[in-house]
Structure 1
Amino acid sequence: MVGVAVIGAGYWGPNLVRNIQATPQLRLTSVCDMNLARAEAVLGRYSTVRATSSLQEVLADPEVDAVAIATPAATHLEVAMAALEAGKHVLVEKPLASSYVDGHKLVTTAEERGLVLMLDHTFCYTPVVQRLRELVRGGELGDVQYVDSVRINLGLVQPDIDVLWDLAPHDLSILDSVLPDDVTPVAVAAHGSDPAGLGRACVAYLSVQLSSGAIAHAHVNWLSPTKIRTTIIGGSRRTAVWNDLDPIQPLALYDRGVDWPDGTEDRRVSYRIGDMVAPALPTGEALRAVMAEFAAAITEGRPALTDGRSGLRVLAQLEAASASLAAGGVFVPVENGRTA
């Protein structure tokens, strides 16, 4: 069993604690938070797991093989780097770091020391996204023509990052997971506003130009009174529609679209009207699958599905989005993309 300590007992930390305890390959050793009472509250009165406010104490513990970090984004570099330098494997919440340069430092350190550095891009481990990955990479949807995502609700406003850095990593990590390796982001444009006077964008629209000529779009919003979680992946053969709030039929495949004749004099568009199919999907909590992948990557000595490099690719797009937002929404090249 891999001994894991959770660093951060705030909003997401309790979820990590619960799923580590439910994963047979992992053993929860301790919970660390600057507020010791909060760490103790997460564990409960009768827990035999140790609560502490000392990160140094956790990293010096030989029973701790790995850490799961759920601290504010601005602290990810410091906490994750200390863990890697102490020889611990690291699972860290999104984003990997506050900048691409800082993220690259973490990835380089992990690779030099032969340690697993993994992002908790939770949505990538849902049964729906895993099926979408199979459909796109297996060619069942055909060539990806567009991706359109909406992620809005009356959200938890973050004190240190804007809505792009808070919510868009979900959509960008999903995009990174499902797209074929030869389709890469080449430029990003972002438009945002701060109608609530929060001092940072709380409504934003993100467009990603892909190397294939397709475009991906995401709408993220902290201020919507209604919650919407939808993703549409339009392909040349079929279109996949994912409604994350539908517990019965979250994924639907449509054999409907536009056919544009090639190589003929008749260039009139024809419309394809086919069936809709709702694939059967396995059940299971995505965060449980995250923990299983973390354990497997450590014990098998291999990169995780959402490894540090995937986190860097997301960071490259987030930085381009921030630069675009500051420049009035122009497209900004993604300098590193998948080759980072």
Structure 2
Amino acid sequence: MEPLRVAVIGAGYWGPNLARNFRSCPDWDLVAVCDLDADRARRVVGPRSTVDIMTSTQELLARDDVDAVAVATPARTHAALGLAALEAGKHVLVEKPLADHGAAARRLVTRAAELGRVLMVDHTFCYTPPVLKIRELIADGSLGDIHFVDSVRINLGLVQPDVDVFWDLAPHDLSILDFILPGGLVPTGVAAQGADPLGAGRACVGYLTLPLADGAIAHVHVNWLSPTKIRQMVIGGSKRTVVWDDLAPQQRLTVYDRGVDLGDTLPDRTTARVSYRLGDAWAPAMPEREALGVMVAEFAAAIHQGRAPLTDGRAGLRVLDVLESTSLSLADGGRMVGAVGHEVLKARQPVGSGATA
């Protein structure tokens, strides 16, 4: 197929990474980079590039030679730019978060479906080899039924001036959970406990509890104050457990054939026979590919095939719903609250359904 023509809006922190991967992907032809600062956009494309430098999004979206746009601007602008691009007939990729609040994200998802345009969220971690392998292991039944997920993302990080530690770090873990769990991340409730020992005016340490269907549970620990950096996720199933250590490059994934099996209930009906399964552990082989390269190729494939991308607008909305519920719970002293908006997001959109949001 002929390469699709794409423009990147935003040449700040993330835009250059998107531009580089669009340029190197045979599915795409990068035709323009748009930024209010023309010099910054020029630095992204290089002095001898034929890629156009633009400073007006209105002029960019009016072009007939642009099939899709990638929005890499501050979160507060995502909804307005995404809607304008959809109305101009473009397919849209949005840097996470999809929007700065759920209502705006819903407008994006609804309008993309009405216009038959692909709306994709750049949940980059979902396209890393370990997360793709975890998704595969869950989908093919290798882990069995999921019983629990423990995720830890802590380091001595920058205390953000405008968001708490949940909104800063947890979107990574939540997007991964949404990607790997069958049906997406649809918890039965959300409970958040946070602490502000620095007096920064926002939670710097946080613990997020997400009860899931069928008695399973997910727990996310995020922290700006830890002197050690840990990026680890444990996914326990009825058959096997997988441990992902993102800071162990030689063996980032380990699958354990170990666990607990319950036998018959004893005559007193209060306890059951417990046996322990002590099997082997192994490290699955994984190709080393840049996640953003996989992501932009998936964006092109979804457009060509007229289907929803793996991280579509609904995935971004589910993550926002949990974050907004987190803020509600935190403000109410950690009480378990219902997940915002999940009445319309109870399942993934089936592949081949025709709608592309």
TM-score calculated relative to the size of structure 1: 0.94
| Match in the other structure for 2:261 | 259
Distance in 1 separating the partners of 2:114 and 2:202:
37
Q: What SS does structure 2 have at the residue aligned with 1:187?
A: coil
Instruction: Establish whether residue 301 from structure 1 lines up as the match of residue 303 from structure 2.
Output: no
Q: How far apart, in 1, do the equivalents of 2:88 and 2:249 lie?
A: 42
Structure 2 residue aligned with 1:15: 17
- Give the 3-state SS of the residue equivalent to 1:212 in structure 2: helix
1:331 aligns with 336
2: distance between equivalents of 1:198 and 1:75? Answer: 26
2:62 paired with 1:60: yes
Aligned CA RMSD, in angstroms, stands at: 1.8
* 8 Å Cα contact 1:156/1:222 also seen in 2: yes
SS of corresponding position for 1:274:
strand
Contact 2:178–2:185 (CA under 8 A) maintained in structure 1: no
SS of equivalent residue, structure 2 residue 251: coil
Cα distance in 1 for residues equivalent to 2:89 and 2:227 = 45
Q: Secondary structure at the match of 1:339?
A: coil
Mapped partners of 2:32, 2:328: distance in 1:
39
Q: Deviations 1:179-224 (Å, cap 9, x if unpaired)?
A: 1229831111112233344433232211111022111011122333
> C-alpha displacement at 1:77, in angstroms?
0.9
Cα shift readout 1:235-293 (whole Å, capped 9, x = no counterpart)? 12111000112211110001112222134547242222111111111110111010000
**Equivalences for residues 1-340 of structure 1 within 5 A:** 1-181=3-183, 184-265=186-267, 267-337=272-342, 338-339=345-346
**Structure 1 position 162, deviation (Å):** 2.5
Give the 3 Å change call, closer, same or farther, for CA 43–284 of structure 1 in structure 2.
Answer: same
Q: In 2, distance between residues paired with 1:156 and 1:24?
A: 37
Q: CA deviation at 1:225?
A: 3.4
The one-letter code sitting in structure 1 at the alignment partner of 2:290 is: E
- Please say which of residues 17-26 and 34-43 is displaced more in the overlay: 34-43
Once residues 225 and 95 of structure 2 are traced to their aligned partners in structure 1, the CA distance between those partners, rounded to angstroms, is 23
Encode CA deviations 1:10-54: one digit per residue, 9 max, x unaligned: 111111011111110111111112222221122222222122221
Q: Return 110-119 or 200-209, whichever deviates more.
A: 200-209
Unpaired stretches in structure 1, ≥5 consecutive residues: none
Name the count of aligned residue pairs.
340
Q: Verify the 8 A CA contact 1:203 1:223 in the aligned structure 2.
A: yes
Conserved? CA contact 1:183–1:211, under 8 Å: no
Tell me the CA shift for residue 160 of structure 1.
Answer: 3.5
Q: Which secondary structure state, in structure 1, belongs to the residue aligned with residue 18 of structure 2? A: helix
Distance in 2, matches of 1:225 and 1:182, equals 33
Query: Which amino acid in the other structure matches residue 298 of structure 1?
Result: I
Question: CA 1:26–1:281 in structure 2 vs 1: closer, same or farther (change >3 Å)?
Answer: same
State the Cα distance separating 1:304 from its structure 2 match.
0.4
Query: Separation in 1 of the partners of 2:73 and 2:247?
Result: 27
Distance of aligned partners of 1:5 and 1:182 in 2 relative to their CA distance in 1, 3 Å threshold: closer
1:74–1:160 CA contact under 8 A, matched in 2:
no
Report if aligned partners of 1:183, 1:212 keep a CA contact under 8 Å in 2. Answer: no
CA pair 227-112 structure 1, distance change in 2 beyond 3 A: same
Check whether the contact 1:190–1:325 (CA below 8 A) recurs between aligned residues.
yes
Partner-residue secondary structure (3-state), 1:228:
strand
Matched residue SS, 1:4:
strand
Say which SS state the counterpart of residue 279 (structure 2) adopts.
Answer: strand
- Distance in 2 (CA, whole Å) between partners of 1:134 and 1:269 is 29
Question: Is the CA contact (8 Å cut-off) linking 1:249 and 1:278 kept in structure 2?
Answer: yes
For structure 2, the 5+ residue unaligned runs are 348-357
- In structure 1, give the amino acid aligned to 2:46: G
TM-score (norm 2): 0.90
Q: 1:261 to 1:281 in 2, by over 3 A?
A: same
Distance 1:198 1:13, change over 3 A: farther
